[in-house]
Chain A
Amino acid sequence: MKVVVIGNGMVGYKFCEKLVAKFEPGTYSLTVFGEEPRPAYDRVHLSEFFSGKSAVDLLMAPANWYADNNITLHTGDPVKEINREQKTILSHKGLIVDYDYLVLATGSAAFVPPIPGVDKKGVFLYRTIEDLEMMTAHASKAKRGAVIGGGLLGLEAAKAMIDLGVTDTHVIEFAPRLMPRQIDDSGSKILQSKLETLGLTIFTNKNTSCITGDESITGMQFSDGTSIDVDMLVISAGIKPRDELAKAAGLETGPRGGIVVNEKMQTTDETIFAIGECALFNSMIYGLVAPGYEMAEVVVATLSAAEKAFSGFDMSTKLKLIGVDVASFGDPFVPATDCRTVVFEDTMKGVYKRINISTDGKYLLGGVLIGDAAAYNMLLQTTKNKVALPENPEDILLGSRGGDAPQGAGVAGLPADAVICSCEGITKGAICTAVEAGNETLDSVKKCTKAATCCGGCAPMVKDIITYTLKSQGKYIRNVVCEHFNYSRQELYDLIRIKKIKSYDDVLDELGHGDGCEVCKPVVASILASLWNEMILVKGNDTAQDSNDRYLANIQKGGTYSVVPRIPGGEITPEKLIVIGEVAKKYNLYTKITGGQRIDLFGAHVSDLPAIWEELIAAGFESGHAYGKALRTVKSCVGSTWCRFGLHDSVSFAIQIEERYRGLRAPHKIKSAVSGCIRECAEAQSKDFGIIATERGWNLYVGGNGGSKPQHAILLAADLDNETCIKYIDRFLMFYIKTADPLTRTATWLNKLEGGMDYLRNVVINDSLGINAELEAEMQSLVDNYKCEWKEVVDNPELRKRFNHFVNAPEEKDPSIQFEMMRDQKKAAGWG
């Protein structure tokens, strides 16, 4: 059997994958012609090209996959002609290949409306990697942009413009509303106001009459006489199926394009199939990948003489990336006479939800979700699987009021054969089985089942199913803080910030219940410190601190404390070294150099701490926060000032960074280091954030860890100048502080972060969440608010009083403390 595929796009590729899986090697030959210069890539995630994914990252399969599977792939060689008599095709480069079966997977092209001036420089389409490369090159010079088309792709393109730095961008829609094909009027209005807050300007009912400018675009004129100045334009006005080849070969095509196929995807020539976006089934083009994959499946089945027919496909969609949830599912537009409609609208929050229910109230027919699409998958599945609705159908929209619905409860009602990942056709049952076999995280379920690997839209639901399955095995993990707070740390953080609460007691009164405990107290105290950076021992917060924070020192075996003055970057003058020595001698302290390039003084009585610090502060020291979940040290190598290999002055940069983030409270301790060259003497890659000098600047690594589970940090960005490096660190740290669970180091946090490093990079570098300005401002205010807390204690008699061991005998020390001698210094006596 000789099979030739024309078009190596997403669907053409999927066809190959399915064919290879179905047929024994040697029973067929497979030749693929692709017009684009590279093998098939993931067009659905095209926009991620702007967030750092390379063309190679986006490939559906590496170039050698084709050869490894005995597929002959000709890239950059479009097919010019089909000879149906001879059953051959002729390629642009002159190759003639004969076939038994021919598969057309030519996809579609962007539809370009016949507007005068569309050929000017600065006007782009949004379909291929080349389009995006050209956009990137142009965007650096552009200031004001526009997108023609307010549909799914147009809005994605508009977001891409903002990501490219063209923040002043207009969306021009011909219809009276955005996304006219997916959502209704009220939904569109909410969507529009949401997008406007992102900085987009939106024109509806606008018809572009001409594009102005000499060689390059300078503006646009509209049929209503108005005009705007723009220097970059993306046209996303719809798609046009690539049916030219089929038409020339005499196959039937639709009046508005598309190759006519039957339910077996056969064209009017039964040896020629058409699949994907070029195929017209029942007068309809399916412009999504999932139906395209289903068509590929149908053809492979037909070739293997199995019975399988295409019967249309659900066109539910969820918009990615735009920063506003938008989804429509099932039939969003059922006429009011044929259904009951429930609408929920909150214009303040920008939330609009509509569901259409069958007139008998039993089934869900479809709906629209704007502003909050968390329920999308659940509603979609309820629609597709005809799951019977609860007695009060509005509950599925509004949530059952009163009583907390357990997390992931919704998926319990789905049948095992409900298709969860429609791109890959993975059922709920398959996911449950994978979880039961030990794949308990989204990542491992993805690897094991392929679910959520394509468009990713089903990922939240897959997670719910994982939770649900774990729970039914008795493995459910609660991540609320403790019995006193029904919130996760991140939720608490946001609530405390929004409500501007400053003390533990007020937090407990407003957000919790009961009287607190040793779990929630330090969590809340740390959040308060991260948010407001106020002295941690005031406002009654002292007794909410972990013991170490409460006494601003680390409690050690025997009940004494250790003292660690800050020595930024590990650099210290001989004079200061002498002071440390003198203080240690006077208060009889054991001294040791720490791993973080500073000096630890052990064995201090709690009542001596203020006096010890008074002397250290007088000599110019400040708190090293060794006792806090806070920035510890920024270790440095000696760098270019002395080292013959050094590229930059790692010590100066380490000091600058340590002084910037000193005192910063976080969910866990934070360590850092700066190395002056790739030899990495400061071991920066084992730190929460580490910096290594390069010829052109600094490489910034994040998420490393020493300790019991060592892990190397991962490169976040390369060749940064000092300022950008600090900016990225600001954002990274703030994002971590805001979102991590209590006592979670950056490494664990990053491991658990969905989307991992790519996601983090997207947030921190490309501002995919639009929060970077906020993160930087928050960090700056923490930096500005920094005060040495030991200095505040030393200067405040009331606070000093708290360091007495006996409340009724302040001058006496704890008589139970005992030391032993070892190598000329003292050590704590063994545990009693």
Chain B
Amino acid sequence: MSSTTTLTEVHWFFACKTDDVPLNGGVCVKYKEEQIALFHFSRREEWYATQNMCPHKHQMALSRGMIGTQNGEPKVACPFHKKTFSLEDGRCLSDDAECSLKTYPVKIEEDRVYIGFYGGFDKLSLTSV
């Protein structure tokens, strides 16, 4: 059951207070040398986190993008060229499927927002375990 063990190894990083994040919008969180885009999709009472860098032209911009849905699937649109990415699995919904986003779990405790990173403090993705 390697995948369950991985999940138990999630490290929860305190990002900010819930009301630091605009309703139905995003902020950028600094995690070590990384930038994470954190979204509060308040219409759906959902939280999402992805990498902040847009894979298209490598711009640190996704946290400033508009969020919304496409056929019910939550997504974010990059402010630069409006490419859209699924907030659920990070896949690019626009055209080129190969560039996708890393996504992270989010949990809320009281008014505190935590972003989960796998494998202790390392950036391990689920598939590599």
Binding site for B on A (CB under 8 A): 483-484, 505, 508, 514-518, 520-522, 540, 542-544, 546-548, 550-551, 555, 558-559, 801-802, 805-809, 812, 814, 816-817, 831-832
With A547-B79, A814-B60: A806-B84 Cβ-Cβ less than 8 Å: no
With A546-B66, A807-B21: A559-B29 Cβ-Cβ less than 8 Å: no
Q: Chain B 49-86, CB within 8 Å of chain A: the 1/0 string?
A: 00001000111110011111111101101011010100
**Contacting residues, chain B, for A550 (C-beta < 8 A):** 64
Query: Pick the contact of A807 from B29, B44, B74, B75 — CB < 8 Å?
Result: B29
With A542-B22, A816-B60: A555-B80 Cβ-Cβ less than 8 Å: yes
| A559 and B59 contact, CB distance less than 8 A | yes
How many residues of B sit at the interface, in one of the four size bands?
Answer: 35 or more
B107 to chain A, nearest CB (A): 16
| A555 and B61 contact, CB distance less than 8 A | yes
| B77 and A514 contact, CB distance less than 8 A | no
Query: Pick the contact of B22 from A518, A543, A547, A817 — CB < 8 Å?
Result: A543
**Contacting residues, chain A, for B20 (C-beta < 8 A):** 801, 807
In the complex, what distance in Å separates the CA atom of A807 from the CA atom of B119? 24
| A516 and B22 contact, CB distance less than 8 A | no
Query: Pick the contact of A516 from B53, B58, B69 — CB < 8 Å?
Result: B69
Determine, out of B35-43, B97-105, B120-128, the stretch whose residues face the partner at the interface: B35-43
B33 to chain A, nearest CB (A): 8
Query: Pick the contact of A808 from B29, B57, B77, B80 — CB < 8 Å?
Result: B29
In the complex, what distance in Å separates the CA atom of A807 from the CA atom of B23? 14
Query: Pick the contact of A483 from B53, B71, B84 — CB < 8 Å?
Result: B71
| A518 and B77 contact, CB distance less than 8 A | yes
| B58 and A831 contact, CB distance less than 8 A | yes
In the complex, what distance in Å separates the CA atom of A812 from the CA atom of B28? 12
| A483 and B70 contact, CB distance less than 8 A | yes
**Contact of B92 with A by CB under 8 A:** no
B35 to chain A, nearest CB (A): 7
With both beta carbons as reference points, the residue of chain B lying nearest to A817 in the complex is identified as B60
**Contact of B6 with A by CB under 8 A:** no
**Contacting residues, chain B, for A817 (C-beta < 8 A):** 60
In the complex, what distance in Å separates the CA atom of A508 from the CA atom of B67? 14
With both beta carbons as reference points, the residue of chain B lying nearest to A519 in the complex is identified as B68
B20 to chain A, nearest CB (A): 5
| B29 and A518 contact, CB distance less than 8 A | no
With both beta carbons as reference points, the residue of chain B lying nearest to A540 in the complex is identified as B23
| B66 and A518 contact, CB distance less than 8 A | yes
| B58 and A517 contact, CB distance less than 8 A | no
| A517 and B24 contact, CB distance less than 8 A | no
A812 to chain B, nearest CB (A): 7
Q: What are 29 A-to-B residue pairs whose CB atoms are below 8 Å? A: A505-B24, A515-B44, A515-B74, A517-B68, A517-B69, A517-B70, A518-B65, A518-B66, A520-B68, A521-B68, A540-B24, A542-B22, A542-B25, A543-B23, A543-B24, A543-B25, A543-B66, A544-B24, A546-B66, A547-B61, A551-B64, A555-B64, A559-B59, A801-B20, A806-B30, A807-B20, A808-B15, A814-B35, A832-B59
B3 to chain A, nearest CB (A): 30
| A515 and B79 contact, CB distance less than 8 A | no
| A807 and B68 contact, CB distance less than 8 A | no
| A517 and B75 contact, CB distance less than 8 A | yes
**Contacting residues, chain A, for B25 (C-beta < 8 A):** 542-543
In the complex, what distance in Å separates the CA atom of A468 from the CA atom of B48? 44
| B30 and A809 contact, CB distance less than 8 A | yes
In the complex, what distance in Å separates the CA atom of A15 from the CA atom of B75? 65
